[in-house]
Amino acid sequence: MAIRNIRVMGDDVLEKVCREVKEVNERTKELIMDMLETMYDANGVGLAAPQVGVLKRIAVIDVTGEDPIVLVNPRIVESSGEQRDYEGCLSVPGKRGIVTRPNYVKVVAMDEDMQEIEVEGSELLARAICHELEHLDGHLYVERVEEGLEDNPSDDEE
Ligand code: NI
């Protein structure tokens, strides 16, 4: 396992649409392990593959610090409600901004063994899922910020 370099806003790789994962081989598994390690090392609650320079539809999320979720080829199949709160991103270091998100989402994906999984999340988990999935389509939360970016006094970022 290794900590990978996190790409920051301005890097083209963050603006590209990622490719579907066809099979999870040893290299993909190593990528997933590295993504988890990189996310924890950076005190993040989520990380998407393009943030470490890999254009594959893979994201990892852990909003509690002890409940890692691996999402391969994820898609949101249900969402409801609304939440309005600060959001940050490891690729936009030191900043945060207000973003409105659904308060609940259900996502269908594959896990690291290519088994289909369904993940439901509300509040922070719903926010993290929406945020990470947008990375896979080349979008950053800064496009959605409602009152401008501000300095982030904490170090919890996605
Ligand atoms: Ni992010």
Distance in Å, CA 80 to ligand 1 centroid: 22
pLDDT score for 154: 74
pLDDT tens-digit profile of 81-95? Answer: 999 999 999 999 999
What b-and-e string marks burial along 12-42, b requiring 16 or more CB atoms within 10 Å of the CB? ebbeeebeebeebeeebeebbebbbbbbbee
Q: What's the pLDDT score for residue 157?
A: 63
pLDDT given at position 153: 84
Cα of 28 vs centre of ligand 1, distance in Å, is 20
83, 99 in Cβ contact below 8 A? no
Cβ atoms 29, 54 nearer than 8 A: no
pLDDT in tens, 64-75: 999 999 999 999
Q: What does the block give as tokens for 42?
A: 């950076």
pLDDT digits (tens, 9 = 90+) for 7-36: 999 999 999 999 999 999 999 999 999 999
**pLDDT tens per residue across span 95-142:** 999 999 999 999 999 999 999 999 999 999 999 999 999 999 999 999
Residue 41 has pLDDT above 80, yes or no: yes
Kindly report the pTM of this predicted structure: 0.95
| Strand 58-61 with 46-48, pairing | antiparallel
Return the bridge partners of 36, or none.
none
Ligand 1 mean position to 9 CA, how many Å? Answer: 10
Q: Which residue has 């190593």 as its token pair?
A: 30
Residues noted as catalytic = 132
**Which residues are CB-contacts of 137 (< 8 A; sequence separation ≥ 6)?**
17, 18
Q: How many whole angstroms from 22 Cα to the centroid of ligand 1?
A: 24
